[in-house]
Amino acid sequence: MTDFKLLYTIRDLLLFMIGQSISMNTPQMMTATGQAIEVRRPIHDANNSATLASTVYQRLAAAPAAAVLFCISGDMLQPVCFTAADLAKLPRTTLTVRERKGTNIAYEGVLLREILQRAGVPQNEQLRGSNLARYLVVEGADGYAVVFGLPEFDPAFGNRVVLLADRRDGQALAPDEAPLRLVIPDDQRRARWVRKITRMRVMRATVTP
């Protein structure tokens, strides 16, 4: 009986060690907006923007999937995801815009250029050469998507104000807008005011000779 118990204990110990080894060598996965995002550490620290992205990314590696509002992926070092807590810690901006009925609405949130900076997307002096061919796709839950050239947000180029809003008139967004929407005061038409944002992608335009 003693030998049997000893063998049983050794078997359990081996199974535990194997399980730990598999867990340590398997990339962590998060499910955000219905899509699996592989969580990895940055492969290098090229500049301060990459460092900021690393900080957000490492902390979110252990975050519950339900806490993630959206991720930025595509032509960049690695996907970077944001939670409501992350947005709350960034500089906040309030924009007052006039609705079609003539009433003024105050939207509050984070400027999109702040999000791109934290994600390590090229800005400022990095916006030259091939980086000028990059663009941002913002997608809503219904599949609606719009495109922005990266220079649009940069003060040295377009300096366009684009707000990633999470509050309206001091309240959380309504279900048909939540959790996030774009607000672009300079656009004469509001076709790019994407609602129910689920993800963003940085892409690169290709030119065929």
151-178 pLDDT tens trace: 998 888 988 999 999 999 999 999 999 9
50-74 pLDDT tens trace: 444 444 444 545 555 558 999 999 9
Q: What is the pTM of this model?
A: 0.69
109-129 pLDDT tens trace: 999 999 999 999 988 888 888
27-38 pLDDT tens trace: 333 333 333 333
Q: What proportion of the chain, given as a percentage, has pLDDT over 90?
A: 52
Bridge partners of residue 35, in order along the sequence = 32
Confidence of residue 101 (pLDDT cuts 50, 70, 90): confident
Tell me whether strands 68-74 and 197-204 are parallel, antiparallel or unpaired: parallel
CA distance to 17, 20, 43, 146, 186, per residue, from 23 (Å): 10, 5, 21, 39, 49
Could you say which architecture CATH assigns to the domain 32-204?
Alpha-Beta Complex (3.90)
Assess whether pLDDT exceeds 50 at residue 130.
yes
Residue extents of the structural domains in the chain: 32-204
| pLDDT of 64 | 58
| pLDDT of 63 | 54
Interval 129-146 mean pLDDT: 94
Instruction: Say which DSSP state 27 is in.
Output: P
